Amino acid sequence: MRPTLSDVARLAGVSVATASRALSNPDLVADGTRRAVRDAANSCGYRINLVARSLRIQRTDTLLVLTPDIENPFCANLLQGIEDTAFDMGYSVMVGFTAKGDRRCESYAELLSNGRVDGMLVLDGGTGMSRFTGPKPEVPVVQLLDRVYEPPVPVVRVDDGAIADLAVRHLSGLGHRRIAHIAGPLVAQHALERRDGFIAAMGRLGLPVPDTYIQAGEGQWDQASGAMELLLNLPEPPTAVYCADDMMACAAMDVCRARGLRIPEDMSFIGTNDMPESQRAFPQLSTVRVPDASLGAKAAELLVAMIRSQQGLATDTVLPVELLARASCSPVRTAVAA
């Protein structure tokens, strides 16, 4: 049998109360007593039972993070960022993958309502979490990137319209006018807003956006490749492409290379997120960096603040993005076109 606090108390010749204090609140106890209790604990190999402690103090010091998956390196980084600051604040993290279906989501949401975790951090990729946790502002939930619950459930995100605008202006600054967009999974709000932001930015610059210049990439390698094929087969192909995601940009670049096009001379590319593969791509991919680590850190901090029921917390936190001009964009070649 594992020794309990009362075993320690008996060994040390004190009450359980004192043993508890000596171990978790040493200041409340006399020097000698403290030493006696510690010795007793060591000698019998005592380890506190955290479950009992949790029941008593009514918190688990555990956070649940929900993410569609972690095949996407961006999500993986986010998760690591969250775990990192959670750890520093004394929290452990449980993880659930929502892309696996509704039954899973429901089951995960119950960990929160059933008291197994103190709070939940949801990074939704268009999965239907909203069906399972209604907008109950009283439970500690913070959303990452996409708003799936109404305010006052807080969200930590970037400005996706601004991202698209940055990308488009970079390209237009290089003289491009025929700019296409390969969109992400439009079930996810951020993908939708990047697409709409793309249209808006083009409009502001007076550049035309034929329907065919917006292709569905769905955040998938293969679909993005297909989207690029379609763009290249257009009677009047674009000279530059803004992709809602770096992985799709890499896929699209590969298609161009396979067709013998030079990048950036024949086709310029700009992605989003600054994933690890962007710097490894050839040529290195220009992108709009989304600060994954800070996003995760901010979200974790906010969640913990909610758990500790602090007041007046931000309900919408927008973190800055950054244009990273690398080698995949160049000035447009002056068209000698028909």
Interface with DNA (CB under 7 A): 2, 4-6, 14-18, 20-21, 23-25, 28-30, 32-33, 46-49, 52-53, 55-58
CB 327 to DNA: min, Å:
57
Burial class (CB in 10 A: 0-12, 13-18, 19+), 224: buried
Q: Angle at the Cα of 258 (from 253 to 259), degrees rounded to 5?
A: 100
- C-beta closer to a second copy: residue 204 or 259: 259
Asked if 47 interacts with a second copy (CB under 8 A), we say yes
| Residue type at position 151 | P
Give the pair of three-digit tokens for residue 71. 């095949």
- Cα–Cα nearest to 117, from 52, 57, 56, 64: 64
C-alpha–C-alpha distance, residues 195 and 183, integer Å: 6
Using DSSP's 3-state secondary structure scheme, residue 143 falls into strand
C-alpha–C-alpha distance, residues 186 and 193, integer Å: 9
- C-beta closer to DNA: residue 3 or 161: 3
Are 271 and 329 a contacting pair, CB within 8 Å?
Answer: no
Among a second copy, DNA, none, partner that 25 touches (CB below 5 to 8 angstroms by kind): DNA
- C-beta closer to a second copy: residue 165 or 245: 245
- C-beta closer to DNA: residue 15 or 107: 15
Asked if 258 interacts with a second copy (CB under 8 A), we say yes
Instruction: Name 96's bridge partners.
Output: 66
Asked if 314 interacts with a second copy (CB under 8 A), we say no
- C-beta closer to DNA: residue 36 or 227: 36
Are 172 and 269 a contacting pair, CB within 8 Å?
Answer: no
Residue choice 44, 89, 94, 199 for contact with a second copy (CB under 8 A): 94
- Cα–Cα nearest to 101, from 130, 79, 74, 129: 129
Asked if 205 interacts with a second copy (CB under 8 A), we say no
- C-beta closer to DNA: residue 53 or 104: 53
Residue choice 6, 15, 24, 80 for contact with a second copy (CB under 8 A): 80
Applying CB under 8 A, which residues contact a second copy? 47-52, 54-55, 60, 62, 69-71, 73, 76-77, 79-80, 83-84, 87, 92-97, 100, 104, 107, 110-111, 113-116, 221, 250-251, 254, 257-258, 276-277, 280, 282
